[in-house]
Amino acid sequence: MSARTAAARDAHRAFLDPRLLDSEDEYVGWGGLPDDEIEHAMAVMAAMRRWRESEQRSSEASRRYMRLGETDMRALRYLIVEQNRKQVVTASDIAHHLGISSASTTKLLDRLAAGGHIERRPHPVDRRALAIVVSPETRTAARETIGRRHARRFAVAAALTAQERETVIGFLDALSAADAIDTAVEADRPQL
């Protein structure tokens, strides 16, 4: 391991260590924990960081491969899932799913159509609406990138025992709840 790699690893560890981040023990509540438990909790946090960084790299690689932005990819995933469910998707369905305005949805769909990723077709029931479908080429590209990645992740989750999955689910749900509290507090805080 190079000196630079070791220094980077030590810096990442320092950012996770509550004894350094919260030396007065005002927020974390680490004071009653033995050092080995603190180290083990830090190992969990480090593993989460590695997963997040890996997921970000993978997501970015998929977006680069398909030459799309994050919202574009979310729209395509939604379209693929809904088409697999045999649902007809309209522009307003996409806007609702993504939480964006109709004007933003129109721009998004124009961009995806110009790139050959979607097609606008007559709606099978509502003559006033258009059905939005993923092009066969984009469906294949998504299956090759996102589909294979999802399959590998699913295999890891499926390999866990039922008890291990329940533990992971409980842990991730608790993290989500903790982040939701922070989000609510930050939303109420005056901006600097």
- What's the topology of domain 70-142? Arc Repressor Mutant, subunit A (1.10.10)
**10-57: per-residue pLDDT in tens?**
667 778 888 888 888 888 888 788 989 989 999 999 999 999 999 899
Task: Specify the pLDDT at position 142.
Answer: 86
- Cα end-to-end span (Å), the chain: 42
User: What is the value of pTM for the model shown?
Assistant: 0.69
**Residue 68 banded pLDDT, cuts 50, 70, 90:** confident
Residue 45 burial (C-beta neighbours within 10 Å; 0-12, 13-18, 19+): middle
Task: Specify the pLDDT at position 95.
Answer: 98
Least confident of 75-89, 134-148, 152-166: 134-148
Task: Specify the pLDDT at position 76.
Answer: 95
Task: Specify the pLDDT at position 31.
Answer: 79
Whether 2 shows a pLDDT value over 80: the answer reads: no
Domain ranges of the chain: 1-66, 70-142, 160-192
Structure-token pair, residue 128: 């006033």
**DSSP per-residue codes, the chain:** --HHHHHHHHHHHHHH-HHHHTTT-SSS--TTS-HHHHHHHHHHHHHHHHHHHHHHHHHHHHHHHHT--HHHHHHHHHHHHHHHTT----HHHHHHHHT--HHHHHHHHHHHHHTTSEEEEE-SS-TTSEEEEE-HHHHHHHIIIIIHHHHHHHHHHHHS-HHHHHHHHHHHHHHHHHHHHHHHHHHHSPP-
Whether 6 shows a pLDDT value over 80: the answer reads: no
**What is the Cα–Cα distance from 109 to 120, expressed in whole angstroms?**
9
**What is the Cα–Cα distance from 25 to 27, expressed in whole angstroms?**
6
Least confident of 95-99, 133-137, 140-144: 140-144
